[in-house]
């Protein structure tokens, strides 16, 4: 077996995850290059969140290979987590802490917040940091998680449907911030259902279906071969 | 108000289709079981007479059980069951109401329900009807059971009066809970507040009973403030001894008034909010809050403070009772002889306090379980996922919480010993060595450690069942300690309870062996639990 240190930030080969008799991932292949914005798409229940949880060391893989920065996320989560920031799909935080406190806590646990960025992001996303978490609307809860992640200085951002619930103005703000990150050579792994967002931001896209990699496209390929992502998605993964 | 009532009732029944029947069955079965057990042990006239003498003398016992009116089996049954099963039925009703009102709102389910063809207050009507039916079923079961198993000590009418008293008592607490859920802004606060009210009511009744004096017929009447509490109302029917049907009017009127207040308040507020508006918080986190210990402490704070206040108050009152006890002993010749025969007041006070210390230890163990259960609730609610995605390791997170809970547990133990002995010393000529009691209390730490070990072990292996299993064993231990000796539980069953193996310090001499065994086993359990936790998937509910 050949041992190479890859330039891939995330690498998964034939990743399998079973929960008892249910197979959530059935041989997923995934490659995310350094410095790219990588989209992760698939129908509901295809295994996207499961994949992300394995990358975060929250779930233990059943078989196959998965590496983040050439390390195993299950056995070395603490070091790896210094290098990443996570935006969850379902935003659940302690209800009586304020948005500002939550951002600070997560920032500190990640190794430090960038003060200027924190201020900048809170202003741009128009969040009131003094309100208790349970009094925020759905979109504002999302913003808390986003700002907490974007305010850290890390090489990798893993985002699970980060903009669900954000209004179009905030969606725009999000895209601008992501482009800024890319300029700074950060890597972003973005799982999303918002096809326009994926088309606008991503360099490459992995499509997952039934726990397996169905296709990997670069956006250039996509534009050449198909009219747009929606067409690809609906045609190939809609009802036959 | 009644639109959509039947579907809502069916919904509640469906959601609780396993829970409710089990609770009702266990409650009734265990209560009725006391009848043959107690009768076996103390049914004969001689035993009853001795008990009557002892209980009348032991004023502190009255604080916990209420007055034994007469040397009859009915009186014995009352003091052994009315208050304790009363607490149980109160909890049953409280949890039922909170679950289907506040908790619904928190889950967001209430919003969905309210958007359908449902009246504004229909859900409250639905849950109160369920509570009523539950209490009714219990009443009927008890009435029938106690009529049959009456050991010729009371009439059928009396049996039904007891049953109705119990059922009404439960309904009273349902009504109070219905009000409280309108006022606070979370399910947890509601339960916490109800526990506080329940505890306060019990305490007030306890002090009232304790300070009571005999009336013309020689029966001790509690002081008036006992009758301000639902416990007092339940006791005043004296169902199994000198039955009086009139007092049942008090809970009935109370229930009607309280329920009306609850509906009034409900109309005044929004779904999901309490009447008191939420305040804003700080926009920056303090330095301490940002550290793993600080965050864990924030999560653990409320639990600790609740138990701290409850235990401190309870222990302080117990200690204060000691000074009252001596005057009772002096007044009664028979009692004084009895006491002198077992070693005099010099021996009696430590014996009494050691027993109370054991109860305090049980309370601290309860705190330990509830505190450690945060491990599971943080995981199940999804809050932990965010934290574990940072560079805080699983093991460090676990140990931070376990460390805080164990430290606080030890603190509560020491405090119990200290408060008890200090308050016993005030106003009496006893000069109890405070340090003795603090050390005695701390010597029970291995028991607390065992509960911690059990929880952590189960948290690593079967997290979803951890809380249930540990609480069930805890319930057994509390029951065996408190009621066990009274109903003559066989030694092998008592042996399952940890408390049996601990000496009643400081009155008895310390027994080192169980302490060592418990500590070793507990530490092994914690280590195993930690390893399995590290190796399992993170699961939400």
Answer whether B285 touches A (CB < 8 Å). Answer: yes
pLDDT confidence of B330, banded at 50, 70, 90?
low
Average pLDDT in chain B: 85
Q: Pick A1-74+156-163+189-240's CATH classification: 3.90.1150.10, 2.40.30.170, 3.40.50.300, 1.20.120.1690.
A: 3.40.50.300
Decide if A101 and B383 are in contact by the 8 Å CB cutoff: no
**Rounded Cα distance, B204 and B369, in Å:** 27
More reliable by pLDDT, B271 or B381? B381
Measured between beta carbons, the chain B residues lying within 8 angstroms of A145 are 386
pLDDT digits (tens, 9 = 90+) for B9-55: 888 888 888 889 998 998 999 899 888 888 887 778 888 888 787 77
> In the sheet that A37-41 helps form, which strands lie side by side, from edge to edge?
A84-87, A156-160, A187-191, A37-41, A204-209, A212-218
Measured between beta carbons, the chain B residues lying within 8 angstroms of A111 are 391
Put simply, the chain A residues between 153 and 182 with a CB less than 8 A from any chain B CB are: none
Decide if B280 and A130 are in contact by the 8 Å CB cutoff: yes
pLDDT at A30: 95
Angstrom distances, CA of residue B525 to CA of B32, B77, B300, B407, B478: 37, 40, 22, 18, 22
Answer whether B273 touches A (CB < 8 Å). Answer: no
Out of B281, B386, B537, name the one closest to residue A88 (CB). Answer: B386
Q: Where are the alpha helices (DSSP H) in B16-155?
A: 19-42, 45-57, 59-65, 73-100, 102-107, 109-114, 122-148
pLDDT confidence of A240, banded at 50, 70, 90?
very low
Identify which of B215, B154, B411 has the alpha carbon closest to the alpha carbon of residue B307: B411
Identify which of B432, B448, B412 has the alpha carbon closest to the alpha carbon of residue B353: B432
Q: In this predicted structure, which of B40-44, B73-77, B128-132, B299-303 has the lowest mean pLDDT?
A: B40-44
Identify which of B527, B512, B540, B252 has the alpha carbon closest to the alpha carbon of residue B402: B527
Identify which of B395, B371, B410 has the alpha carbon closest to the alpha carbon of residue B529: B395
Decide if B281 and A101 are in contact by the 8 Å CB cutoff: yes
Min Cα–Cα distance to chain B from A58, Å? 5
Decide if B290 and A109 are in contact by the 8 Å CB cutoff: yes
Angstrom distances, CA of residue B239 to CA of A99, B130, B165, B171, B250: 56, 26, 8, 18, 15
Decide if B391 and A131 are in contact by the 8 Å CB cutoff: no
Give which of B273, B276, B293, B391 to mutate to test A binding, by max A Cβ within 10 Å. Answer: B391
Out of B278, B383, B535, name the one closest to residue A94 (CB). Answer: B383
Cβ atoms of residues B104 and B118 within 8 Å: no
Give which of A52, A69, A78, A154 to mutate to test B binding, by max B Cβ within 10 Å. Answer: A78
Measured between beta carbons, the chain B residues lying within 8 angstroms of A88 are 382, 385-386, 389
pLDDT confidence of B374, banded at 50, 70, 90?
very high
Decide if A95 and B186 are in contact by the 8 Å CB cutoff: yes
What's phi and psi for B371, nearest 5 deg?
A: -65, -45
pLDDT digits (tens, 9 = 90+) for B241-277: 888 899 999 999 999 999 999 988 888 776 666 555 6
ipTM metric: 0.87
pLDDT greater than 60 at residue B332: no
Segment holding A40, helix H or strand E: strand A37-41
Instruction: Give pTM, 2 decimals.
Output: 0.83
Structure tokens at B139: 């009443």
Residue A206, SS3 per DSSP: strand
For chain A, domain boundaries: 1-74+156-163+189-240
Cβ atoms of residues B282 and B276 within 8 Å: no
Identify which of B482, B504, B510, B480 has the alpha carbon closest to the alpha carbon of residue B493: B480
Measured between beta carbons, the chain A residues lying within 8 angstroms of B392 are 78, 81, 109
pLDDT confidence of B179, banded at 50, 70, 90?
very high
Decide if A93 and B393 are in contact by the 8 Å CB cutoff: no
Min Cα–Cα distance to chain A from B42, Å? 53
Answer whether B189 touches A (CB < 8 Å). Answer: no
pLDDT digits (tens, 9 = 90+) for A106-128: 999 988 888 999 999 999 999 99
């Amino acid at each position: 077996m050949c041992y190479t240190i890859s330039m891939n930030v995330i690498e998964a080969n034939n990743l399998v995850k079973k929960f008892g008799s249910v197979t959530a991932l059935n041989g997923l292949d995934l490659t995310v290059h350094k410095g790219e914005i990588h989209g992760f798409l698939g129908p509901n229940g295809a295994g996207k969140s499961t994949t992300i949880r394995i990358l975060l060391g929250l779930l233990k893989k059943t078989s196959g290979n998965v590496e983040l920065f050439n390390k195993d996320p299950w056995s070395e989560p603490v070091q790896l987590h210094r290098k990443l920031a996570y935006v969850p799909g379902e935003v659940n935080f302690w209800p009586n802490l304020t948005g500002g406190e939550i951002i600070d806590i997560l920032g500190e646990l990640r190794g430090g917040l960038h003060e200027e960025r924190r201020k900048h992001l809170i202003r741009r996303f128009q969040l009131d940091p003094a309100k208790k978490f349970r009094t925020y609307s759905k979109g504002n809860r999302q913003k808390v998680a986003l700002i907490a992640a974007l305010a850290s200085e890390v090489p990798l951002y893993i985002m699970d449907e980060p903009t669900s619930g954000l209004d179009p103005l905030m969606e725009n703000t999000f895209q601008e911030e992501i482009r800024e990150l890319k300029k700074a050579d950060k890597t972003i792994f973005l799982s999303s259902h918002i096809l326009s967002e994926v088309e606008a931001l991503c360099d490459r896209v992995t499509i997952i279906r039934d726990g397996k990699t169905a296709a990997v496209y670069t956006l250039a390929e996509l534009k050449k071969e198909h009219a747009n992502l929606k067409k690809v998605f609906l045609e190939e993964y809609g009802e036959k | 108000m009644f639109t959509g009532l039947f579907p809502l009732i069916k919904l509640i029944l469906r959601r609780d289709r396993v829970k409710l029947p089990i609770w009702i069955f266990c409650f009734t079965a265990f209560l009725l079981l006391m009848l043959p057990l107690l009768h076996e042990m103390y049914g004969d006239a001689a035993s009853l007479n001795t008990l009557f003498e002892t209980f009348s003398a032991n004023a502190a016992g009255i604080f916990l059980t209420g007055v034994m009116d007469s040397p009859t089996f009915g009186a014995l049954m009352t003091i052994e069951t009315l208050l304790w099963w009363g607490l149980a039925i109160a909890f049953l009703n409280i949890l039922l109401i909170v679950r289907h009102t506040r908790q619904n709102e928190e889950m967001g389910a209430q919003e969905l329900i309210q958007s359908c063809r449902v009246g504004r207050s229909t859900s409250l009507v639905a849950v109160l009807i369920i509570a009523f039916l539950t209490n009714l079923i219990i009443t009927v079961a008890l009435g029938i059971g106690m009529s049959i198993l009456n050991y010729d000590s009371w009439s059928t009418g009396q049996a039904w009066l007891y049953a109705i008293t119990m059922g009404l008592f439960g309904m009273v607490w349902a009504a109070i809970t219905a009000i409280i859920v309108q006022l606070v802004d979370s399910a947890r606060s509601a339960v916490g507040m109800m526990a506080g009210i329940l505890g306060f009511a019990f305490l007030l009744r306890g002090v009232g009973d304790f300070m009571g004096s005999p009336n013309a017929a020689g029966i001790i009447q509690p002081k008036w403030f006992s009758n301000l509490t639902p416990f007092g109302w339940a006791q005043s029917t004296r169902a199994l001894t000198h039955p009086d049907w009139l007092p049942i009017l008090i809970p009935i009127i109370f229930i009607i008034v309280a329920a009306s207040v609850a509906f009034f308040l409900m109309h005044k507020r929004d779904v999901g909010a309490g009447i008191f508006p939420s305040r804003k918080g700080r926009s920056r986190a303090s330095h301490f809050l940002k550290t793993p210990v600080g965050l864990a402490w924030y999560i653990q704070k409320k639990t600790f403070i609740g138990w701290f206040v409850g235990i401190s108050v309870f222990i302080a009152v117990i200690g204060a009772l000691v000074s009252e006890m001596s005057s009772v002993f002096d007044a009664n010749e028979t009692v004084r002889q009895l006491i002198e025969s077992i070693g005099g007041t010099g021996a009696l006070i430590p014996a009494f306090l050691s027993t109370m210390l054991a109860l305090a230890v049980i309370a601290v163990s309860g705190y330990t379980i509830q505190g450690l259960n945060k491990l599971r609730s943080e995981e199940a609610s999804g809050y932990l996922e965010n934290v574990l995605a940072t560079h805080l390791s699983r093991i460090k997170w676990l140990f931070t919480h376990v460390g805080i809970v164990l430290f606080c547990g030890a603190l509560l133990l020491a405090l119990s010993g200290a408060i008890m002995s200090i308050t016993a010393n005030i106003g009496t000529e006893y000069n109890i060595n405070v340090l003795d009691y603090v050390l005695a209390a701390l010597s029970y730490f291995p028991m607390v450690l065992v509960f911690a070990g059990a929880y952590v072990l189960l948290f690593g292996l079967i997290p979803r069942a951890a809380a249930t299993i540990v609480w069930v064993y805890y319930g057994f231990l509390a029951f065996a300690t408190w009621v066990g000796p009274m109903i003559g539980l066989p030694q092998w069953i008592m042996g399952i309870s940890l408390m049996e193996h601990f000496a009643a310090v400081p009155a008895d001499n310390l027994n080192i062996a169980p302490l060592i065994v418990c500590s070793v086993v507990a530490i092994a359990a914690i280590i195993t639990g930690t390893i399995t936790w590290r190796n399992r998937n993170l699961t939400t509910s």
